[in-house]
Amino acid sequence: MINKPLVLIIDDSQVNLMLLYNILEQKDFRVISARNGEDGLALAKKNKPDIILLDIVMGGWDGYETCYRIKQDNDLIKIPVLFLSALGETENKVRAFKAGGVDYVSKPFQKDELLARVETQLELAYLRQNLEREVVNQTEKIQLLFEALKLSYDKAQQASILKTEFLRNISHEFRTPMNIVLGMTEILIDDTGLTEEQLDCADTVMQAGKRLMDILTNMLNFSQQFKGELKEVISDFHIHEMIDNVLKELSVTTVQISTEIEPSLKALLRGNQEDLSKVLSQLLENAIKFTHKGKIVIEVQPIEGVDERRWVQFEIRDTGIGIAKDKQAHLFDIFFQIDGSSTRAYEGLGMGLAVAKMFIENMGGQIGVESIKDIGSTFWFNVPLEQDF
């Protein structure tokens, strides 16, 4: 309870004023009073009481009008108003609450009941004020936190943009000399009379150059995606021809690779053949890298979609080393490697699957993996394609 709260009594009966004054003063309340609504409002504005006890039937403004005017003042609106009246009908009580009252005590009132209601309303008002102050304080803290977070985010975003722009420029500038290196190496292999040892060295340079070019291309793709510059190139194509072309470009392998395409998908389709080829190539290269014996199967089949487009699922199944369950959730994260040690057996930056995921999602599709350690893996992706019937 607040120490010595101030009570304003507004009642046109001198007897009621004296009675209420004595009851409240004995309980250590400070009391001020007015005989009509006009004077009561003036006292309230001047003294800012903690609670107002208000009669209904008075000369001039009645209690309803007085309460209404009190609640129109922004400085007084939160002061609890407790009505005192001999009007016991329900409609009078309802009208009192609609005018802004918080409680209603019927005359003749009981001393203990009156004090209990006054103390309860004061306690509620006190708690409400504390809560509102706490809300304001917490809101200010949250606002400061948001401002700090926004500042941090803006700085991080700016730094990320700078890094992405740097990555984009470096990737772009490195690709030009790398194309020259690859082109000249190809001429060296094809058009000059090299010895067997020289051919072997030149072929090693060519393979290393291609790997570096793939890294630069992936870096460029990521920077383009970040800036919204990654565009889809739509064309007509046959799935079996696309797969044949991808297989021709793959490294030589002793592992058997077979293809299973559902007959209905041998028709002409329309979609992003270029990026589909890149994804398929990446998944096949991984399958070849991690499959030392057994076979690799490429399966393509139609699946149910959510729209009128033709949804197609590609699966690349291998009998390779498989992937541990706890590693699978992060496979498509950029720079993630199953073995991140410096002594790992398999090369790579961990960008290939992340790039594949980026391409597939850019086409509106999904990509995933199912794998069992030491048994093999199945990488799959679903994409929407168009088909003329």
* Cβ–Cβ < 8 Å for 267, 230: no
Alpha-helical regions (H) of the chain? 14-26, 37-47, 63-71, 90-99, 111-191, 196-226, 239-249, 273-290, 325-328, 352-362
Q: pTM here?
A: 0.49
Strand order in the sheet with 30-34: 30-34, 6-10, 51-55, 81-85, 103-106
Q: How many CB atoms lie within 10 A of CB 142?
A: 10
Compute the distance between CA of residue 128 and CA of residue 103 in angstroms, rounded to an integer: 16
CA 276 from centroid of its chain's CA atoms = 29
Q: Which domains does the chain have, with CATH numbers?
A: 6-109 (3.40.50.2300), 148-226 (1.10.287.130), 235-387 (3.30.565.10)
Look-up of token digits 């057994």: 294
Tens-digit pLDDT string for the chain (389 aa) = 446 899 999 999 999 999 999 999 998 899 999 999 999 999 999 999 999 999 999 989 999 999 999 999 999 999 999 998 888 788 888 999 999 999 998 888 888 999 999 999 999 988 888 888 888 888 887 777 777 777 776 676 666 666 666 666 666 667 777 788 888 888 888 878 778 888 888 888 887 887 777 777 766 666 666 666 567 788 999 999 999 999 988 866 678 899 999 998 888 999 999 899 989 998 998 898 888 888 999 999 999 876 677 899 999 999 999 888 888 888 887 666 655 444 444 455 567 788 889 889 888 999 999 999 989 999 999 999 987 65
Angle at 127 between CA 121 and CA 128, to 5 degrees: 85
